[in-house]
Structure 1
């Protein structure tokens, strides 16, 4: 069944390649369709991350206050989740739901050359062979390797950028920690991309760019909703406090008899 699913994905890519006359453009079209399909799931994941950012300072306060009382800490955490309607597992489930589609796309593009259609899998004149890896093209020459290098950099930094955008408003210690983690992940992705086919890099890069755009748009909408909700709160009227300074009466002088 899994192989049949991958074959179906390949047939879809081939269909768009025949329509538009280019395999690279067909991969981008399929990537856009893939992103549209998983967009409700991604919206839920981004919303959960956004709520996490708002709840995190309160969580840290509880952890500091009840550091020596784990039972009370858990109780207060549960109260916080109930009051803020926040589910810490809500951000994990959407990621697992989209993984099968992503893995199938990844494997299909990695095995593109094994289909034996006799066609040359190109991306116009930009990338001459989507089945080749940057490692393969390095041996050919720098001019041929350059487009693959660009795909490598997009592949690597498209993983790093969403992490930084998500933690821009965090405290400096957490931001520095995420910066170090993001740098390590970027180096790891560069290493992975060195031996990955250009078709895989094109799919991942296009998917990540669309994901970054969706993240920014969704967060902007959520911030606008929060601002509108804050503005719609009824104004609390308090009685006017008048601070009157009373003069101290002087004693009348007594007449001497």
Structure 2
């Protein structure tokens, strides 16, 4: 069943290759389609991350108020989640649902050399061979290695960039530093993985990550705009209406002559 699913994905890539005449462009087209399909899931995931940022200060306050009472922390945390209508698992579910598609695409691109056996398996003149790994290209000289190095940097940087963007507005310096450190370590790991990955895989991952970052930023901008509108509406309701009443000075009545 899994092999049939992978064969179907390869046929989709091959179909777009028939239109584009270039394997790299076909991969990018399939990546865009993949991202459009999972867009609703990515929207939920990004919204969950945004909500988590809003909840985090309150959770930190709970930890400071009840440092030696984890049971009370958990109870108060559930109250906060219910009050803000926040589900901590909402961000995990979209990721789990899209993983099978992503893994299948990843495996198909790794096996593309065996499936196609085409010497012109390239991305125009930018990347000579999408089956070649950066480690193999490095052995052919620095000039050949440069496009593969760019793909490696995009591959690793696209992993780190979302974490930077997510923590830009965070007020918790300790959490922000920890997240950035984790992102840097993950980026180094991705560089190590990319060293032995075919360029087609790096192209897919890089394009997918860049589109994903754009989708997340659109969702976050929408969430922030909603919060601003909500805050403005609440301010209008709470704020008392001020009425300027100008009182005219009373004119003295003329005294009647007797």
Same fold? TM cut 0.5: yes
Number of aligned residue pairs: give it: 240
In terms of mean alpha carbon deviation, does 110-119 or 176-185 score higher?
110-119
Find the counterpart in structure 2 of residue 196 from structure 1: 197
For 1:7-48, what per-residue CA distance to the aligned partner results, in whole angstroms no more than 9, with x for missing partners?
111111011111011000000000000000000000000000
Find the counterpart in structure 2 of residue 29 from structure 1: 29
Find the counterpart in structure 2 of residue 179 from structure 1: 180
Find the counterpart in structure 2 of residue 249 from structure 1: none
In terms of mean alpha carbon deviation, does 143-152 or 109-118 score higher?
109-118
Q: Quickly say closer, same or farther: Cα 1:119–1:18, change in 2 above 3 A.
A: farther
Q: Quickly say closer, same or farther: Cα 1:121–1:237, change in 2 above 3 A.
A: same
Distance in 2, matches of 1:189 and 1:71, equals 38
Can you give the 5+ residue segments of structure 2 that lack an aligned partner in the other structure? 243-258
Find the counterpart in structure 2 of residue 219 from structure 1: 220
For 1:54-78, what per-residue CA distance to the aligned partner results, in whole angstroms no more than 9, with x for missing partners?
0100011111111212221111111
In terms of mean alpha carbon deviation, does 227-236 or 112-121 score higher?
112-121
TM-score (ref. length: structure 2): 0.90
Which secondary structure state, in structure 1, belongs to the residue aligned with residue 238 of structure 2? coil
Find the counterpart in structure 1 of residue 250 from structure 2: none
The aligned runs of 1:8-157 (5 Å cut-off) are 8-118=8-118, 120-157=120-157
In terms of mean alpha carbon deviation, does 172-181 or 35-44 score higher?
172-181
- After TM superposition, give the deviation of residue 183 of structure 1 in Å: 1.1
Distance in 1, matches of 2:116 and 2:206, equals 25
For 1:66-118, what per-residue CA distance to the aligned partner results, in whole angstroms no more than 9, with x for missing partners?
12122211111111111000111111111101100000000000110111454
- What's the C-alpha RMSD, in Å, of the aligned pairs? 1.5
Distance in 2, matches of 1:227 and 1:149, equals 42
Is 2:241 the partner of 1:235? Answer: no
Distance in 1, matches of 2:30 and 2:241, equals 59
Runs of 4+ in structure 1 over 3 Å off: 116-119
Is 2:5 the partner of 1:2? Answer: no
Distance in 2, matches of 1:2 and 1:120, equals 28
Distance in 1, matches of 2:75 and 2:139, equals 61
In terms of mean alpha carbon deviation, does 117-126 or 89-98 score higher?
117-126
Distance in 1, matches of 2:149 and 2:140, equals 13
TM-score (ref. length: structure 1): 0.90
Distance in 2, matches of 1:51 and 1:135, equals 41
Which secondary structure state, in structure 1, belongs to the residue aligned with residue 25 of structure 2? helix
- After TM superposition, give the deviation of residue 238 of structure 1 in Å: 9.0
Which secondary structure state, in structure 2, belongs to the residue aligned with residue 4 of structure 1? helix
